[in-house]
Amino acid sequence: MAAAERDRFTSPVIAAARFVAQRMILKPVVWTVTKVTVLGKTELTDLKGAFVVVANHTSHLDAPLIFGALPRRLARYLAAGAAADYFFDVRWRRGLTALFFNAFAVDRSGVGPRGVSAKSLLRRGIPLIVFPEGTRSRDGSLGTFKPGAAALAAGAEVPCVPVAIIGASIAHPRGSKWPGPGRLPVGVVFGEPMHAEPGEAPTAYITRVRAEVARLTDEHSARILAQGPTHGQADRPSGDSAGSAESGQGQR
């Protein structure tokens, strides 16, 4: 792997540029066009080093919501897996994806790796976002979780962090070009980091993580979605704040 590719993931200078892109451009836009609730931040208090965020995938809002909701210390070098055949085959899209999400290519065809591998990133202490369904849900329902994320986490001896994304499929459904009007409610709910049990197979591990994502979704969906749309002036977050709808409570 070339030195430039290594530096893209770990360079403090590039991380500073990414901070501007994420927290001063992307996050204010997302928090302005939707009404965001964040729950479970206290579950992450003791989280350090590398980890694998495992989340359901229903919308193009999912990654921006996770990056914006995570504490800055955890999001600084966070890298998101992105489909190589969509995000990395067009130069401008590849550049923007790398800038905003510190993205690495995931080959959905199974032919072989594209560039840096997720395993090598974890070994270097870089946390990852993985959407184990492999693609966005067409109807917002929770799909099958492939075991790759669990295998990565177990192999690197790092935890999976279950995350439930709520309402994004309504606010910005698959096939739409922009979130719907009226600041529709969305939520990001962090669960307690989960480790592989001794001798546990990746399929069993990812089944436990999926069950936790489902539980978080079931427990908090009604509260988050009941907020309804807002048609008045939007709250505009600045810096690392997240707007009036965000909460860091450790509710589960």
**Per-residue pLDDT reduced to its tens digit, 33-42:** 999 999 999 9
Residue 4 lies in a domain: no
Tokens 């439930």 appear where?
164
pLDDT at 235: 44
Q: Which domain holds residue 46?
A: 34-78+127-225
The 8-class DSSP code of residue 140 comes to: S
pLDDT at 236: 42
Residue 94 lies in a domain: no
Residue 141 lies in a domain: yes
Residue 48 lies in a domain: yes
pLDDT digits (tens, 9 = 90+) for 173-204: 887 888 888 899 999 999 999 999 999 999 99
The structural domain count of the chain equals 1
Residue 22 lies in a domain: no
pLDDT digits (tens, 9 = 90+) for 97-131: 777 888 887 665 544 445 578 899 999 999 999 99
Average pLDDT of span 72-81: 92
Beta carbons within 8 Å of 178's beta carbon, 6+ residues apart: 33, 172
Average pLDDT of span 204-233: 88
Average pLDDT of span 83-109: 72
pLDDT at 197: 96
More confident residue, 148 or 5: 148
Quote the CA–CA distance of 73 and 70 in Å, as a whole number. 8
Instruction: Give how far Cα 216 sits from Cα of 84, 87, 189, 191, 222, Å.
Output: 30, 29, 7, 7, 11
Average pLDDT of span 62-82: 92
Please give the angle made by the CA atoms of 42, 151 and 216, to the nearest 5 degrees: 35
pLDDT over 90 (residue 137): no
Residue 169 lies in a domain: yes
Residue 46 lies in a domain: yes
Instruction: Give how far Cα 141 sits from Cα of 57, 62, 74, 216, 226, Å.
Output: 9, 14, 28, 14, 18
Angle between the N-to-C axes of helices 91-101 and 12-21, in degrees from 0 to 180, rounded to the nearest 10: 100
Instruction: Give how far Cα 104 sits from Cα of 14, 93, 173, Å.
Output: 15, 13, 24
With contact defined as beta carbons under 8 Å apart, do 35 and 241 qualify?
A: no
Burial tier of 243 (Cβ tally within 10 Å: 0-12, 13-18, 19+) = buried
Tokens describing residue 152: 């990565």
How large a percentage of the chain has pLDDT more than 90?
Answer: 56
The amino acid that residue 156 corresponds to is: A
Residue 21 lies in a domain: no
Average pLDDT of span 119-144: 88
The 8-class DSSP code of residue 240 comes to: T
